[in-house]
A and B are shown apart, each in its own frame.
Chain A
Amino acid sequence: MHERGIQIRIWIVAVLLFLSFCGLGAKLAYLHLSNHSKVTGREYKRTLLGLRGRIFDCNGSQYPMAVSLPARQFYIDPKSVKKEHDVNTIAKTVASCLSLDEKAVLEKFTQTGSRYIKLGYSLDDHVFEVLSDAKHISGVGAEELVIRRYPQGRRMSHVLGFVNDMGVGGAGIEQQFNRYLTGTEGLIEGEKDAGRREIFTRRKTYIPAIAGSDVYLTLDHNIQYEVEQAVKEVVEKFDAMAGWAIVQRVKTGELLAIASYPDFEPENYSKEATFDVWRNNALAIVYEPGSIMKAVTVSALLNERLATPDTMIDVGEGTWFYAGKPLRDHVTGRISVSTALKKSSNIACAKMGLMLGNKKLEAYLHAYNFGNKLGIELPGEERGILARSKDWDKLKPTRIPIGQGVAVTGLQMINAYSTLANDGVMMRPYLVDRIVSSTGDTVFKAKPEILGRPVRPEVARKVREMLIGVTEEGGTGKRASVAGYSIGGKTGTAQKAVPGGYSSTDYYASFVGFVPAREPVFSVLVTVERPRPQHTGGFVSAPAFAKIAAATARYLEIPPDLPPEEDEADAGQL
Chain B
Amino acid sequence: MRRNRKRQVHAKVLPPSVAGMVVLIVSMVLSYWFMDAKCAQLGQDIRKNEQKYAAFEDECVREEARWSEKKTPEKLEQAMLQHGIAMSYPTADQVVRMDASGQPVAGQLSLVRFQRNLSASERVAKTEQK
Residues of A that sit less than 8 Å from B by CB: 3, 6-7, 10, 14, 17-18, 21, 24-25, 28, 51, 63-64, 67-70, 123, 125, 149, 151-153, 155, 197-201, 203, 221-222, 225, 483-484, 550-551, 554, 559-560, 563-564, 567-568, 571-572, 574
Contact = CB atoms under 8 A, between A and B. Distances in A.
A149 to B, nearest CB: 5
Interface in B62-102: 62, 64-65, 68-69, 72-74, 88-93, 97
Contact of B44 (A21, A24, A125, A200): A200
B109 to A, nearest CB: 4
A221 B61 contact: no
B14 A10 contact: yes
Contact of B73 (A7, A28, A64, A225): A225
Closest 10 interchain pairs by CB? A200-B43, A572-B91, A571-B92, A151-B68, A564-B109, A201-B43, A225-B73, A70-B58, A200-B47, A151-B69
A568 B92 contact: yes
A3 B12 CA distance: 9
B2 to A, nearest CB: 16
A429 B73 CA distance: 26
A3 B92 contact: no
Contacts of B109: 564, 567-568
Given A14-B18, A28-B32, A221-B73, A554 B89 contact: yes
A148 B73 CA distance: 21
Contact of A67 (B12, B64, B88): B64
A563 B107 CA distance: 6
B91 to A, nearest CB: 4
Contacts of A199: 40, 43
Contacts of B25: 18, 21, 25
A222 B29 contact: no
Contact of A3 (B11, B62, B64): B11
A3 to B, nearest CB: 5
Nearest to A152: B72
B32 to A, nearest CB: 7
Nearest to A149: B65
B114 to A, nearest CB: 10
20 contacts: A10-B14, A14-B22, A18-B25, A21-B25, A21-B29, A51-B61, A151-B65, A151-B72, A200-B40, A200-B43, A200-B44, A201-B40, A221-B72, A225-B73, A483-B92, A484-B92, A568-B92, A572-B89, A572-B91, A574-B88
A14 B14 contact: yes
B106 to A, nearest CB: 10
A572 to B, nearest CB: 4
A198 B51 CA distance: 11
A53 B25 CA distance: 56
Interface residues of B, number: 42
Given A200-B47, A201-B40, A201-B43, A67 B89 contact: no
A567 B114 CA distance: 13
B124 interface: no
Contacts of B47: 197-198, 200
A27 to B, nearest CB: 12
B1 interface: no
Given A225-B74, A554-B89, A564-B107, A200 B58 contact: no
Given A21-B29, A152-B69, A201-B43, 11 more contacts: A14-B22, A28-B32, A67-B68, A70-B62, A123-B62, A151-B72, A153-B72, A199-B40, A200-B46, A551-B89, A560-B108
B33 to A, nearest CB: 10
Contacts of A574: 88-89
Contacts of B59: 125
Interface in B17-42: 18, 21-22, 25-26, 29, 32, 39-40, 42
Nearest to A123: B62
A478 B59 CA distance: 53
A252 B46 CA distance: 51
